[in-house]
Amino acid sequence: MKLNNIIGLMSVCSLMGCTAQRDVKNVPDSISGIYPRLAYYNNEGECGTGAVVPWADRLWVITYGPHLPNGSSDKLYEVTPDYQQIVRDESIGGTPANRMIHKESNQLFIGPYAIDQTGKVRVIPYTVMPGRHTGNARHLTDPANKIYYGTMEEGFYEVDVNTLEVKELYQDGNNKQQKKNDTDAGPINDLLPGVHGKGLYSGQGFMFYTNNGEGTQEALRKFDVEAGVLAEWDGKDWKTVRRNQFVEVTGPGGIYGNANPETDPVWATGWDYKSILLGVRDAKKGWSFYRLPKASHSYDGAHGWNTEWPRIRNVGTDMAPDYLMTMHGMFWHFPGTFTADNSAGIRPRSAYLKVIGDFTRWNDQLVFGCDDSAQKEFLNKRKAKGNIEGPGQSNSNLWFTSLAKPDELGPATAEGAVWARESVKANETSEPFLFSGWANRCGWVKNEGKQPVTFTFEVDESGNNRWKTLKSVTVSPGKAASVPFGAMEKGEWIRVKADKNTMATATFSYTSSDNRAMSPAPIYNGLTSVDKDKTTGGLLYGLGDDRRVLGLLANTTVDGKVSETGYYEMGDKLELIRKDDAKTADFIRSKFAIPQQVLSIEEGSVLVVDDLGRRWRLPLGNEQYKNLTEQGVLRICREVATERDLFSCMGTFYELPAENADGYAKIRPVSSHNFRINDYASYRGMLLLTGVTPEEGKDNPHIVISDDGKAAVWVGVIDDLWSLGKPVGQGGPWKDTNVQAGVASDPYLIAFYDKKELSLSHQSDKNVVITVEVDPTGNGDWMDYASYTVKPGEKFVQQLPESFQARWVRFVSDTDTKATAWLEYK
């Protein structure tokens, strides 16, 4: 199946006239890998995909609501090979994300359902086995006849695979403490530390369980407090292995369980505020841990809600396994032979924006089950969005892609830390940090102690635990150093140690080559250029009350004047049809108005003051965007993937984490363009944009035009944005600004841009020393990068090296002066 294969032919009237000689436009059956008719809805605050499994010549899918341990309006779905959706009558809903194929009984266990090889479905009622089912595991002593179920609130059950008889091992926490609202902390089960269970697996004589949150009010606001657990159970007692936020726990056997449970490794993924964590358990040596960088911080948050279910899953074949790992917005190649003594081979593939709950290989393609449009945005509120409503009804979809798609999306640029302002003992090494897989790499170290410290970097070249010294750098007290690594400095893993007790920060920033064009892909043909004074726009809203259509309050802009042209609706056939519905039109006009004055476009940069009062500066783009933004005709911020926002400013789209995941401090530019995009939203798994020139887009299958030619939208997926054009921009925190000696400028974004040129100047009649400070991670770890002496009347210009990467930059002058600090990103 090719994603752009046109199966159905539907007539759509082109803008050029609904006359007897009407143009006929083919409407694709799928768009960017999304089949609109396969979207699923529920009546809950969220509709995520819990599991996606090929079985009995079908693709089986379960959805979940946010906190529903006793059932919900969610369904069990069956997708046929010709992409038809069957809703199973046996559905009882809930918040399930578990799946396991039990070989001995030839059954798929998915959610509370057991499905045999003929597709017959049996159900385990929530009255018998309550809880939010999060994982299954093979039984420790009777694997042929029993399996384990684990819930998100630490309920554990033993289920007979033949009779479905249930034995409760540990009571689910919801039976001890009821959660009143979806945004409440907890509930807390005192069985294990942490909350919000994720993974379950067994092997080496143990059952393993993970959770990724903390049930406190503090965890609802912060990203850097203690949270989560990796735990193991020997059949009698529980043991806490590590107190961090963990998600996946699995092994080479994956959905089937390990083939050699006594000896096969067990893998676990997680994170803390510093970096991604990867654990591997050896039957004799126990657990070993490694660290990897984060591409995205939208998954952070100490409550654990922002992750859904990251997975490691075989997307190859039984004869040629190929493991794909999803973690913090990156697709990773994961070696199926990974152990502590053979740890080589983990590689970044590409960055993504979709929120993925599960994935699989089916019919020689990849299928990603996503969490797209949540009616409740939970804690993801901010003033840049105004008082905008969420969609009227939660919905999500499957995303079908080629097997190669995980290599084809965003650049794999990422960063992470092994130490973050923490006490370090002399000659005690950090945990290993991934070192291989990027074209350009640099480290940053800061000595916050009271004496000079020599930091030594060691590498494991082959992933066999044989370490050798790579280089050393001596850092004075209170100072920092940039440590670039050349292409010939090789190794699978890197670690660092200090020669004295100190307080230290050590981070690594990696960039991959960004070979994207600066011009948009052809799929964007028909979007209106920012320099045009005529466009067809509109405000977007996914309707509720089981109508399952998109509402569009269309408008036309001519010479700066915006006029409404009518209310339209679009269903799964992607046809825009005019409707007479004043009530819905009024609702959209009121609830989806674009907020104004949520940011300031200044002469040198865009100033954003976040909800905590922190100041951030972003690059400028085409000057036309300033007036359009101030006129309130360009959407600035909206949630189009669950619990993170898409931020649009000066012709650049950014991924913006929720405030509880540190918000603007961890913003990530995705792409830049020169289109005047009026609004954007998520619907049936697609990303929709308004701001179209219909006559230019009439032959583009991504442009949908109404029969009367007065309404139009662009349709695709959020990850199409990577092909819009690589991020570019210009600006700086100072533009002929009166600056005071020793007072740092506002932070200015420098991360994720390809080629960077710095220029400095001032208006004093004597030399001025300007120091460049960087924050590599966004955590406020400011470090001196370089100091430049700028002569009177001189414009100091420097190309920053390819190895340079940090998240924010700021500048400090040694003299009161009027200065400019300017950066060009190309």
Name residues whose C-beta falls within 8 Å of residue 529's C-beta, 6 or more positions apart in sequence.
Answer: 674, 675, 676, 693
Task: Classify 336 in phi/psi space as left (phi over 0), alpha (psi -120 to 50) or beta.
Answer: alpha
CA distance 244 to 226: 7
The CA distance from 507 to 779, in Å, is 11
Contacts of 728 (CB under 8 A, 6+ apart): 518, 619, 621, 652, 672, 753, 825, 826
Three-class HEC string of 159-190: EECCCCCEEEEECCHHHCCCCCCCCCCCCCCC
Q: Which run of H or of E encompasses 510? A: strand 502-511
pLDDT at 617: 98
Residue 283 backbone zone (phi > 0: left; psi -120 to 50: alpha; other: beta): alpha
Rounded distance between C-alpha atoms, residue 416 and residue 212, angstroms: 19
> Which amino acid is residue 338, in one-letter code?
F
Q: Is there a contact between 123 and 90 (Cβ–Cβ < 8 Å)? A: yes
741 neighbors 721 (Cβ within 8 angstroms): no
Going from the N-terminus, what domains does the chain have, and what CATH number goes with each? Answer: 40-377+401-407 (2.130.10.10), 414-511 (2.60.120.230), 522-599+625-723 (no CATH), 729-825 (2.60.120.230)
This prediction's pTM? 0.95
Residue 252 has pLDDT above 50, yes or no: yes
Per-residue pLDDT, 378: 75
By C-alpha distance, which of 482, 447, 421 is closest to 274?
A: 421
pLDDT digits (tens, 9 = 90+) for 672-685: 999 999 999 999 99
What pLDDT is attached to residue 88? 98
Integer distance in angstroms from the first to the last C-alpha of the chain? 37
d(CA 73, CA 42): 5
Residue pLDDT, tens place only, 188-225? 789 999 999 999 999 999 999 999 999 999 999 999 99
Nearest CA to 492 out of 525, 519, 466, 453 is that of 466
Tell me what the pLDDT averaged over the chain comes to: 95
Averaged pLDDT for residues 457-477: 98
Q: Which two tokens stand for residue 747?
A: 């932070």
Condensed to tens digits (0 to 9), the pLDDT of residues 311-351 reads: 999 999 989 999 999 999 999 999 999 999 999 999 999 99
Provide mean pLDDT across the span 616-630.
Answer: 97
Contact present, 536 and 693 (Cβ < 8 Å): yes
In single-letter form, the type of residue at position 485 comes to: F
Specify whether the CB–CB gap between 148 and 154 falls below 8 A.
Answer: no
> What six digits make up the tokens of 459?
């590498």
- Percent with pLDDT over 70 in the chain: 96
The pLDDT tens digits of the residues spanning 97-149 come to: 999 999 999 999 999 999 999 999 999 999 999 999 999 999 999 999 999 99
**DSSP characters for 334-347?**
E-TT-BTTB-TT-E
Query: Does the pLDDT at position 12 exceed 50?
Result: no
Torsion sign across C-alpha atoms 562, 564, 565, 570: positive
Q: How confident is the model at residue 20 (pLDDT cuts 50, 70, 90)?
A: very low
CB 112 within 8 A of CB 96: yes
- Per-residue model confidence (pLDDT) at position 230: 98
> What are the residues facing 121 on neighbouring strands?
115
- The SS3 call for residue 239 is strand
Return the pLDDT at 11: 33
311 SS3 class: coil
pLDDT band at 13 (very low <50, low <70, confident <90, very high): very low
Residue 438 · residue 511 · CB < 8 Å: yes
Closest CA to 632 of 603, 599, 656: 599
Mean per-residue pLDDT, 501-509: 98
* Short-list 686, 721, 522, 679, CA closest to 31: 686
pLDDT, one tens digit per residue, over 404-425 is 999 999 999 999 999 999 999 9
* Beta bridge partners of residue 819, listed in sequence order: 737, 762
The neighbour count for residue 533, using CB atoms within 10 Å, is 12
Mean pLDDT of 703-716: 98
Phi then psi dihedrals of residue 148, to 5 deg: -105, 145
Lowest mean pLDDT among 363-367, 386-390, 487-491, 816-820: 386-390
Average pLDDT of span 766-779: 97
Per 3-state DSSP, what percentage of the chain is helix, strand, and coil (rounded to 5)? 5, 45, 50
297's tokens: 């911080």
Question: In a 10 Å sphere around its CB, with 0-12 CB exposed, 13-18 middle and 19+ buried, how is residue 450 labelled?
Answer: exposed
So what's the pLDDT on residue 180? 67
CB-based contact 508:433 (threshold 8 Å): yes
Instruction: Kindly compute the dihedral angle of the four CA atoms of residues 126, 183, 218, 307, in this order, to the nearest 10 degrees.
Output: 70
Q: Give the confidence band of 185 by pLDDT, cuts at 50, 70, 90.
A: confident
C-alpha distances in Å from residue 103, one per residue of 203, 398, 656? 16, 26, 43
Cis peptide before 54, with omega less than 30 degrees from 0?
no
| pLDDT score at 381 | 84
Q: What's the Rg (C-alpha) of the chain?
A: 27
Which residue in 64, 27, 58 sits closest to 43, CA to CA? Answer: 64
Q: Which two tokens stand for residue 391?
A: 């969609």
- Provide the greatest CA pair distance for the chain: 89
Helix (H) or strand (E) holding 276: strand 276-282
Task: Find out whether 533 and 541 touch, Cβ atoms under 8 Å.
Answer: no
CB 82 within 8 A of CB 341: no
* Backbone CA torsion sign across 352, 353, 358, 362: negative
Distance of CA 543 to CAs 394, 549, 809, Å? 10, 6, 43
Closest by Cα among 345, 111, 340, 138 to 255: 138
| 629 exposure class (CB count in 10 Å sphere: 0-12, 13-18, 19+) | buried
CA distance 705 to 802: 44
CA distance 230 to 289: 12
Partnered with residue 455 across adjacent β-strands are 473, 498
**Side-chain-facing half-sphere of 251: CA atoms under 13 Å:** 27
Query: Given phi > 0 = left and psi -120 to 50 = alpha, else beta, which region is 363?
Result: left
Residue 584: strand, helix, or coil: helix
Nearest to 628 by CA among 693, 694, 677: 677
With cut-offs at 50, 70 and 90, classify the pLDDT of residue 152.
Answer: very high
